[in-house]
């Protein structure tokens, strides 16, 4: 029970996280086959993230009403349907719609999977469970690009999506057999006005930040959407303050550990969200690596993420959440920034070490904040906490990509070159490192004993 439940959840989440990045190296092949351009096809990437941002806020209430085990299985089924639709798509509108359907399934998998962990494990076992659970978030975006490149090069690109079907069938079978049954809650209220406002806020922010760096769309359009997202967010705050049971319960921010986890995690993800965007481009555009080779190099940080799984619990027991997360934020900021100073005339092993060590500490931070978030949240409020945590994550990741894309776009405009000079990639890594470092500001005010029931440090 202690290992098998997060492993089953991790299989589905790995499928989701890998698929969200796997088409990045296959855009040119897919675009040529369906008769469009790679730049236009990036709308398919954006539609997936918009679907996540739209439906994540309601995921907690759906799990409460119908039971998290059933909702998780249905989410896999919807994701499979979207994958099949992607494989059958023959036009840009069809492919964009199929990716949106995939995103609807993905929007339920992560928060509902996290909810299943929280309700299935005692707080003393939550760190180990979260360690297994967080690995797909690290591995998927790294494995996706080389796998996508290999399939596009040596097979039909449609297999990128068809391979999800057998994985999904196995995931549903294991979920039915292994995941614990958690009864639905009675008298669950759906806050439909809150759903509309929160979805408009999150999707506008994610869509706006995602298209800011798209050359085919004027940047002002992206900024206008992001501004509208902030406006819808303010309207939601006003609505939530006057509603007895809002969809995203903002009163949860009164819990210090959850507030610190959400705020620090959001700031941290702005920095780490830029890495899968910056590193492959630096290796390909500045250093001349192929897409496949850059994907393989990027994937070495998997070793650090896996190594973290065995050490997260003893580290948190030894230092406690506050000290461990403060140290980790500093180290992550350093290793992220220093990676930008690597140059092709240096030994490749230097870059590999930076990526492995950086992957370890990033994964440790993710595991720590995901566990800390539920340290003082009661079981009845855990569904609202998972939805709030997941929604903030999606917005912050989109902000990270927009930040990195904006720096590189500025490099192109200011230099007059088709490719950003290497110095702008360095600047991107330094800014990303600064963002990860700023995550400590939300942690430094925590009590030294925060989350001690979970960490085991008394």
* Domain boundaries, given as residue ranges, for the chain: 1-185, 191-246, 252-458
Any alpha helices (H) in 212-300, and if so which ranges?
Answer: 219-241, 256-272, 275-281, 291-298
User: 123-160: per-residue pLDDT in tens?
Assistant: 778 888 887 777 666 666 667 767 776 777 778 889 88
The pLDDT-based confidence of 213 (bands split at 50, 70, 90) is low
- Tokens at residue 197, please? 């406002």
Any alpha helices (H) in 373-447, and if so which ranges?
Answer: 382-415, 422-438
Q: Note whether 322 and 450 are within 8 A (CB).
A: yes
Query: Tokens 């005339």 correspond to what residue?
Result: 345
Q: Which range among 146-160, 256-270, 376-390 has the greatest average pLDDT?
A: 256-270
- Tokens at residue 351, please? 């870059």
What pLDDT, on the 0 to 100 scale, is given for residue 264? 94
User: 432-453: per-residue pLDDT in tens?
Assistant: 999 999 999 999 989 888 888 8
Residue by residue, DSSP assigns 187-205 as SPPP-HHHHHHHHHHHHHH
Mean local confidence (pLDDT), 354-364:
90
- Does domain 1-185 fall under CATH 1.20.1250.20? My reply is yes
- Cα of first residue to Cα of last residue in the chain, in angstroms, is 26
Q: Note whether 292 and 420 are within 8 A (CB).
A: no
CA distances from 4 to 7, 8, 78, 178 (A): 5, 6, 23, 7
Burial of 348 (0-12, 13-18, 19+ CB in 10 A): exposed
Q: Check pLDDT > 70 for residue 259.
A: yes
What pLDDT, on the 0 to 100 scale, is given for residue 77? 95
Q: Note whether 295 and 280 are within 8 A (CB).
A: yes
User: 14-46: per-residue pLDDT in tens?
Assistant: 777 777 667 766 766 788 888 876 666 777 777
What pLDDT, on the 0 to 100 scale, is given for residue 130? 80
Mean local confidence (pLDDT), 92-96:
90
Q: Check pLDDT > 70 for residue 1.
A: no
Mean local confidence (pLDDT), 368-381:
84
What pLDDT, on the 0 to 100 scale, is given for residue 233? 93
What pLDDT, on the 0 to 100 scale, is given for residue 330? 95
How many Å separate Cα 265 from the centre of its chain? 11
Burial of 244 (0-12, 13-18, 19+ CB in 10 A): exposed
Among the residue ranges 22-31, 163-172, 377-386, the one predicted with the least confidence is 22-31
Q: Note whether 190 and 61 are within 8 A (CB).
A: yes
For residues 86 and 129, give the distance between their C-alpha atoms in angstroms, rounded to a whole number. Answer: 32
Q: In CATH, what is the architecture of 252-458?
A: Up-down Bundle (1.20)
How many Å separate Cα 150 from the centre of its chain? 23
Q: What percentage of the chain's residues is helix, strand, coil (to nearest 5)?
A: 80, 0, 20
Q: Check pLDDT > 90 for residue 341.
A: yes
- Dihedral (CA of 87, 93, 99, 104) sign: negative
Among the residue ranges 49-58, 243-252, 265-274, 373-382, the one predicted with the least confidence is 373-382
Mean local confidence (pLDDT), 275-296:
79
Tell me the residue length of the chain.
458
Q: Note whether 293 and 25 are within 8 A (CB).
A: no
For residues 318 and 203, give the distance between their C-alpha atoms in angstroms, rounded to a whole number. Answer: 40
The pLDDT-based confidence of 406 (bands split at 50, 70, 90) is confident
Domains 1-185 and 252-458 share a fold: yes
The pLDDT-based confidence of 283 (bands split at 50, 70, 90) is confident
Query: Tokens 């351009």 correspond to what residue?
Result: 37
Q: Check pLDDT > 60 for residue 2.
A: no
Q: Check pLDDT > 70 for residue 291.
A: no
């Amino acid at each position: 029970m202690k290992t098998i439940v997060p492993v089953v959840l991790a299989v589905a989440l790995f499928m989701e996280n890998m698929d969200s990045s796997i088409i990045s190296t296959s855009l040119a092949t897919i675009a040529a086959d369906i008769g469009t351009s790679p730049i236009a096809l990036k709308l398919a990437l954006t539609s997936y993230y918009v679907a996540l941002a739209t439906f994540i806020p309601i995921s907690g209430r759906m799990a409460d009403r119908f039971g998290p085990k059933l909702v998780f299985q249905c989410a896999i089924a919807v994701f499979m349907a979207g994958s099949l639709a992607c494989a059958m798509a023959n036009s840009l509108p069809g492919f964009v719609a199929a990716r949106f359907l995939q995103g609807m399934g993905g929007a339920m998998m992560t928060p509902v999977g996290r909810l299943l962990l929280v309700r299935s494990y005692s707080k003393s076992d939550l760190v180990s469970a979260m360690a297994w659970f967080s690995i797909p978030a690290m591995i998927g975006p790294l494995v996706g690009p080389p796998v996508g490149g290999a399939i596009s090069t040596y097979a039909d690109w449609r297999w990128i999506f068809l391979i999800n079907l057998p994985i999904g069938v196995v995931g549903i079978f294991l979920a039915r057999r292994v995941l614990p049954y958690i009864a639905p809650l009675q008298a669950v209220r759906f806050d439909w006005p809150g759903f509309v406002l929160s979805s408009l806020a999150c999707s506008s922010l994610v869509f706006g930040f995602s298209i800011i760096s798209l050359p085919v769309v004027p940047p002002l359009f992206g900024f206008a959407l992001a501004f509208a997202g902030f406006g819808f967010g303010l309207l939601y705050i006003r609505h939530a303050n006057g509603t007895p049971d809002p969809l995203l319960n903002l009163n949860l921010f009164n819990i210090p550990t959850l507030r610190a986890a959400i705020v620090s995690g959001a700031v941290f993800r702005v920095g780490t969200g830029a890495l899968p965007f910056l590193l492959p481009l630096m290796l390909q555009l500045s250093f001349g690596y192929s897409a496949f080779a850059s994907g393989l190099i990027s994937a070495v940080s998997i070793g650090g993420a896996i190594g973290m799984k065995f050490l997260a619990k003893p580290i948190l027991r030894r230092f406690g959440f506050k000290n461990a997360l403060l140290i980790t934020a500093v180290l992550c900021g350093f290793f992220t920034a220093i990676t930008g100073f690597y140059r092709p005339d240096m030994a490749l092993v230097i870059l590999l070490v930076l990526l492995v060590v950086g992957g370890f500490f990033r994964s440790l931070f993710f595991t720590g904040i995901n566990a800390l978030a539920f340290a003082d949240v009661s079981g009845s409020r855990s569904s609202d906490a998972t939805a709030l945590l997941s929604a903030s994550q999606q917005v912050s990741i989109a902000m990270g990509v927009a930040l990195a894309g904006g720096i590189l776009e500025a490099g192109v405009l200011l230099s007059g070159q088709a490719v950003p000079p290497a110095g702008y990639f360095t600047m991107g890594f330094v800014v990303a490192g600064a963002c990860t470092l700023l995550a400590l500001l939300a942690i430094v005010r925590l009590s030294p004993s925060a989350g001690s029931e979970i960490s085991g440090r008394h």
